[in-house]
Amino acid sequence: MPRPPVPVPPPPTDALTRLKDRVGKALFERVGSRMNDPSLGEAALRALVLAELDAVVDEEKVPLSAEERQRLTAELADDALGLGPLQRLLDDGSVTEIMVNGPENIYVEKDGRLTRTAARFTSEEHLRRVIDRIVSKVGRRIDESSPLVDARLSDGSRVNAIIPPLAFSGSTLTIRKFSKDPFTVEDLLGFGTLSPEMAELLRACVEARLNVIVSGGTGTGKTTLLNVLSSFIPEDERIVTIEDAVELQLQQEHVVRLESRPPNIEGKGAITIRDLVRNSLRMRPDRIVVGECRGGESLDMLQAMNTGHDGSLSTVHANSPRDAIARLETLVLMAGMDLPLRAIREQIASAVDVVVQLTRLRDGTRRVTHVTEVQGMEGETVTLQDAFLFDYSAGVDAAGRFLGKPVPTGVRPRFTDRFTELGIEISPRVFGMLQPPRPQRWG
């Protein structure tokens, strides 16, 4: 059944919007040169802008009600000091992702569904000013010589921007928001992402220092789940996190956060994830958490897992546990070491203990659909055994939401022997199912 088209809100045409355009231009003429004055702190800059804004509104001599004046001031303050029309979307806790396709097309994701908003930038230049404001705060740049960039907002939200000539329909901006209060395992249980039995098993896996890979497609919640898994790490361990743009929100006290660096305008000075993984081994880590494996650093991470750095966590883009293993093979080949495929598979089989698969289902929900043990090698093949699978057999409710849940297959993973050795107890209900469900690929 085809999805209904995304409704398109009408563009704002009221007199207040036209007044806003005029006042905005006058405001930037008066304070534009002082916006980047390093001697002005955030509070002084805000006071300056609001004072000049009041003066410009008074000069317009347009009768405004108190509510209209407040709306006008708030929107223009967002333009001058915040992220313009995006600021209200960022402040909306129900919005999880913001997608800007040129100045006039702004979409948001709410509850797993896309909606086109009435928000708009006044021009391509307005959109570019906001993009420049974002990337400059984290020491990045975007221009014709470097037309795409990854950055982050002060709250940790991930930002990707790409401008013409690469973005043909106008500058494009994607913001993946993160909760100010990081999600806990209780939140994921409430969302239905995890079952209580699965959460208990994953907690034991982290406490037992198993190496865990979180696998999933784009937007499935891999970083969120990685945050939750990392919350199970004991407080007395030293954790080193390695990311392209810092977004993990670990709550432990002893955390070292490392972030890669792109090349400068001369093409020099880049520090890659692989450089940071290698360096982290000299930092006496108890745990290494790599935000995402996407290149040759996968080989270094696997070698670290195989040489005493147990309990490492990372994510990879893949659609199933088997695909995750194949993806790791491909990423290791990107290291350029010319290793035989069997040697790579043996590295993966001995390094990775558990693959946790996240899937974004058709109803927009994000669910863990597999918890899979990596058992070893059988001939030329890495052998896998599912401990949990998502059971789709319950169908959907009237709203189209899947009623199924992840259930144990009844097979007890071999790594539970390690739990016994370490005195980590899990309740019998975790593996209580005697017959495996009938998994179907409906997501």
Tens of pLDDT, residue by residue over 152-209, are 887 778 889 999 989 988 999 999 887 777 889 999 999 889 999 999 999 999 999 9
Residue pair 239/227 in contact (Cβ under 8 Å)? The answer is no
Tokens 């893949």 -> residue: 318
Q: Give pLDDT, residue 14.
A: 57
| Extended strands (E) in 217-353 | 239-243, 255-259, 287-290, 313-317
Highest mean pLDDT, choosing among 31-35, 339-343, 435-439: 339-343
The residue with tokens 């977004």 is 247
- Which tokens go with 20? 């806003």
Cα–Cα distance between 19 and 407 in angstroms, integer? 58
Superfamily of domain 185-431: P-loop containing nucleotide triphosphate hydrolases (3.40.50.300)
Nearest to 443 by CA among 373, 380, 360, 370: 360
Judged by average pLDDT, the poorest of 33-47, 108-122, 135-149, 204-218 is 33-47
Domain ranges of the chain: 14-69, 82-178, 185-431
What DSSP designation does 20 have?
A: H
Higher pLDDT, 59 or 38: 59
Confidence check: pLDDT of 443 > 90: no
Q: What percent of the chain has pLDDT over 90?
A: 39
Residue 38 has pLDDT above 80, yes or no: no
Tokens of 399: 């709203």
Amino acid at 87: Q
pLDDT at 404 over 90: no
- pLDDT for the residue 42: 62
**Of residues 185 and 436, which shows the higher confidence score?**
185
Q: How far apart are CA 233 and CA 440, in angstroms?
A: 33
Q: What pLDDT, on the 0 to 100 scale, is given for residue 9?
A: 47
Token couple for 376: 């070893």
Residue 83 has pLDDT above 90, yes or no: no
Q: Is the peptide bond before 165 cis (omega within 30 degrees of 0)?
A: yes
- Residue 108's pLDDT is 94
CATH of 82-178, one of 3.30.450.90, 3.40.50.1860, 3.20.20.70, 3.40.50.12280: 3.30.450.90
Residue holding tokens 């309990």? Answer: 311
What pLDDT score does 19 carry?
A: 66
Cβ 196 vs Cβ 210: under 8 Å: no
More confident residue, 62 or 233: 233
Integer Cα distance of 294 and 314 in angstroms: 10
Structure tokens at 437: 């469900």
Scored b (16 or more CB within 10 A) or e, 298-331 reads bbbbbbbbbeebbbbbbbbbbbbbbbbbebbbeb
What pLDDT score was predicted for residue 13?
46
Cα torsion for 87, 89, 93, 94, to the nearest 10°?
180
Q: How far apart are CA 117 and CA 10, in angstroms?
A: 9
Place of tokens 């865990």: 212
Residue 413, preceding peptide bond in cis (omega within 30° of 0) = no
Answer whether 245's CB lies under 8 Å from 134's CB. Answer: no
pLDDT at position 71: 72
CA distances to 134, 142, 172, 246, 274 from 265, rounded to whole Å, are 18, 10, 22, 22, 21
pLDDT above 90 (res 370): yes
Express each pLDDT in 231-289 by its tens digit: 999 999 999 999 887 888 888 999 999 988 888 777 788 899 999 999 999 999 999 99
Q: Cα separation of 31 and 49, whole Å?
A: 7
Mean pLDDT computed over every residue of the chain? 83
The whole-angstrom separation of Cα 240 and Cα 336 is: 25
Contact 182, 251 (CB under 8 A): yes
Contact partners, residue 164, CB within 8 Å, separation at least 6: 147, 170, 171
Of 66-75, 167-176, 382-391, least confident by mean pLDDT is 66-75
* Torsions phi, psi for 38 (to 5 deg): -65, -20
H or E element, residue 276: helix 273-280
Tokens of 358: 């996240």
Collapsing DSSP to helix, strand or coil, 50 comes out as helix
pLDDT of residue 436: 46
Residue 440 has pLDDT above 60, yes or no: no
Residue 324 has pLDDT above 80, yes or no: yes
Nearest Cα to 273, choosing from 315, 220, 229?
315
Q: Which residue has the higher pLDDT, 296 or 58?
A: 296
Check pLDDT > 80 for residue 334. yes
User: Tell me, what's the pLDDT at 182?
Assistant: 80
So what's the pLDDT on residue 40? 58
Quick check: 351 and 211 in contact, CB under 8 A? yes
Structure tokens at 178: 């993160």
CA Rg, the chain, in Å?
A: 25
Query: How does residue 1 score in pLDDT terms, banded at 50, 70 and 90?
Result: very low
pLDDT at 228 over 90: yes
How many angstroms separate the CA atoms of 392 and 394, rounded?
6
Which of the pair, 185 or 48, is modelled with greater confidence? Answer: 185
